Amino acid sequence: MKLEIPTRTVVAVVLTAAALAIGVRLWPVVLLLVTAFIFQAALLPYVDWLMRRGWPRTLAVLAVALAVLLVLAGLVALIVPALIDEFQALRDNLPSDARRLEDFLDNFGISVSLEARARDIDWTGLLSGPQALDYGQRVVQTTLATLTVIVLTIYLLVEAPRLSRFVYRFVPPDREADARRLQASLVRVVGGYIRGQVITSVVIAVYTFVVLLVLGVPNPLAFGALAGFADVVPLVGAFIAVVPASVAAFHESPTQAVIVIALLVLYQQFEDRFLVPRVYSQTLNLPPLVVLVAVISGQELLGITGVLLALPAAAVARVAFDYWMEQRGMGEQPVPAAEVMAPDEASGG
């Protein structure tokens, strides 16, 4: 038996394997570029809004980018010192806090031994040696990745018209209208998701601040801002938002900590069941089960990065699926996704 494989097939297999190998090596770069495209979609309406009022494109991009960076820098400057102070207080007072927790649980018939374990923790080992080096490397890598995303986002915003013209050179003239409509839907759904996330983050930040302020918990503004940041991360964000504020409240009293936990968990239920569906209903148009599966899959594939990109990716897949169904006559023309918190185009100059 003689097996003959066409040369074209061999070349295609070799090129595909080479492309996959290159893609694996360049995957971190691809993730940074995808993240930059997501932020570009979120910020582009504000750049266009300034341009309609006579701003040059480069100046409009720099103004929007500077405003975002100033807000983020202010939040970081507010959150980080408070977290450092809280960690130092936790380290210094952990044995006594553990004893108070033992006494509190004892009132409910729960007997645990926490104080001895708290005294046995080797803080020096946790904060020095390989662990400290590993944390330092992660901080440096995260900082470099953040700077890269910022630069890429600014570049994409400035060069958006030129990049669009370049891409459409490869689109057949009879398909250009469909391509432009698909592009507009993708920009709306991704940008709308980011802006919708800003809404939910602001709401939980204000709520957490008010709760902690009323209960007399230290640093309520910092913990409110932290809750807003944590809200960006699906599933895990609820834990990040509740634990630091609860620990700070526990330093005041165990009862106060229980109240904080109850109120913050109650808000999480309100956000998940009422606020998020209304903010994202027109933007993402995704069933809750799809959202959950997307987040879990993203976490398994790419960790925290996958969790952050899961919902935009799922929303993009939904737009692509609707377009595919429409082209085959099996579905209605997709309704344009809502521009959540975007400037009003009709009010432009």
**Tens-place pLDDT, residues 154-186:** 999 998 888 888 887 888 887 778 778 777 777
Tell whether 20 is covered by a domain: no
Mean pLDDT value of segment 92-120: 74
Residue 314 has a pLDDT of 78
Residue 349 has a pLDDT of 37
Burial 128-141 (b: 16+ CB within 10 A, else e): eeeeeeeeeeeeee
Mean pLDDT value of segment 272-283: 69
Q: At what angle do helices 288-302 and 304-327 cross, to 10 degrees?
A: 130
Residue 280 has a pLDDT of 65
Q: Which residues contact 49 (CB under 8 A, 6 or more apart)?
A: 343, 345, 348
pLDDT of residue 346 exceeding 50, the answer is: no
pLDDT of residue 63 exceeding 90, the answer is: yes
Cα–Cα distance between 246 and 143 in angstroms, integer?
Answer: 28
Tell whether 7 is covered by a domain: no
Residue 268 has a pLDDT of 83
Report which of residues 210 and 139 the model is more confident about. Answer: 210
Cα–Cα distance between 97 and 302 in angstroms, integer?
Answer: 36
Count, residues in the chain: 349
Cα–Cα distance between 226 and 315 in angstroms, integer?
Answer: 26
Question: Residues 201, 231: contact at Cβ < 8 Å?
Answer: yes
Residue 28 has a pLDDT of 80
Mean pLDDT value of segment 265-273: 83
In whole numbers, what is the pLDDT of the chain averaged over residues? 79
Residues of the chain with pLDDT > 70: what percent?
82
Residue 348 has a pLDDT of 40
Domain encompassing residue 255: 26-347
Residue 16 has a pLDDT of 84
Burial 266-298 (b: 16+ CB within 10 A, else e): ebbeebeeebbeebbebbbbbeeebbeebbeeb
Confidence tier at 152 by pLDDT (50, 70, 90): very high
Tell whether 2 is covered by a domain: no
Q: Give the tens place of pLDDT for each residue, 117-144.
A: 777 766 666 666 666 677 778 778 888 8
Cα–Cα distance between 209 and 83 in angstroms, integer?
Answer: 15
Confidence tier at 192 by pLDDT (50, 70, 90): confident
Report which of residues 35 and 289 the model is more confident about. Answer: 35
Which amino acid is present at 318?
A: R
The count of domains in the chain is 1
Q: Which residues contact 23 (CB under 8 A, 6 or more apart)?
A: 30
Q: Give the tens place of pLDDT for each residue, 283-335.
A: 666 676 777 677 777 777 777 677 777 777 777 787 777 777 777 766 555 54
Tell whether 259 is covered by a domain: yes
Report which of residues 90 and 78 the model is more confident about. Answer: 78
Residues of the chain with pLDDT > 90: what percent?
13
Tell whether 6 is covered by a domain: no
Tell whether 301 is covered by a domain: yes
Residue 168 has a pLDDT of 79
Confidence tier at 57 by pLDDT (50, 70, 90): very high
Q: Give the tens place of pLDDT for each residue, 211-253.
A: 999 998 888 888 999 888 888 876 667 778 888 888 888 888 8
Residue 288 has a pLDDT of 66
Tell whether 1 is covered by a domain: no
Tell whether 10 is covered by a domain: no
Cα–Cα distance between 137 and 145 in angstroms, integer?
Answer: 12
Other beta carbons within 10 angstroms of residue 323's beta carbon come to 18
DSSP string, 266-285: HHHHHIIIIIHHHHHTTTT-
pLDDT of residue 210 exceeding 90, the answer is: yes
Confidence tier at 347 by pLDDT (50, 70, 90): very low
